[in-house]
Amino acid sequence: MLEPHEFEVVRRLYSAAMDAPGDIDARFDAVRAEYLRLTGFSESNHNAIMHHAVELYGPPCPSCDKPLRTPEARQCAACGVTRSGFKLHFGKPTRGWLDLRVRSGKDEVALDASYVADVVHGSLIALLGVLEGAPMKATGICTEPDWFELQFSRVEEKRLRVELLQVMRRPIAGTVRELRFEHEAAPVEIASALAHALRQFGATAGPAHSVPTKELVMLEARISRMLGDVTNPFGG
């Protein structure tokens, strides 16, 4: 795939070749050569190259990682998962701190969390607990001195809700939980977003921070069951 600035170079060569005289195949040699230089891949069809622009496609599917067919696409043509706009992000740990972000559309909350392993593992265990039948599960997130909870809960047996709650201790009212983020979607969409975040985390976190492989395999197996059984949203 070509980034916008790369595609612009190829597009200009393509336009020049369209107006050039001579053999049609030879006219597009410069297009194919530039594409080979940029990508390392030899493409024989110069017309196909014009469909290899990143900006023509949407973001990676949270379930199968294949790009959506257009930036506006709401459903993945490869695996069928609907794009809800929900995203979880576990950044690369830095000196014991984890950049944690939850997003839904334009709404985003970012935290610097400590105890990296507890946050990553706890999120996975909490979601698996709900998918396996619990009405609600949460994991604690310490940002020193503040405390948060990432909570997953069932909604009418067909939907799943994600909430980020700030936990505050007040002298008179006691412990108060304030909602900072909320998103509701089909269980497969929430599960796919977490699985995608964990795969990305595993690729960038480094050897000191491992993804709980056994539980991730369980989550991905659950996602496969949910995709294969549309009558059972939780894939039990």
131-179 tens-digit pLDDT: 999 999 999 999 988 899 999 999 977 889 999 999 988 777 678 889 9
CATH class assigned to 86-228: alpha beta
Residue 81 pLDDT > 70: no
Give domain limits for the chain. 4-56, 86-228
What pLDDT band is residue 104 in, cutting at 50, 70 and 90? confident
| Residue 80 pLDDT | 66
Residue 158 has a pLDDT of 81
Which whole number is the average pLDDT over 18-30?
91
Taking 90 as the threshold, does the pLDDT of residue 203 lie above it? Answer: no
pLDDT above 90 for 229: no
Sign of the four-CA dihedral 87, 78, 58, 205: positive
For residue range 55-76, list pLDDT tens digits in order. Answer: 888 877 766 777 888 877 777 7
Q: pTM surpassing 0.75?
A: no
Residue with more model confidence, 227 or 56: 56
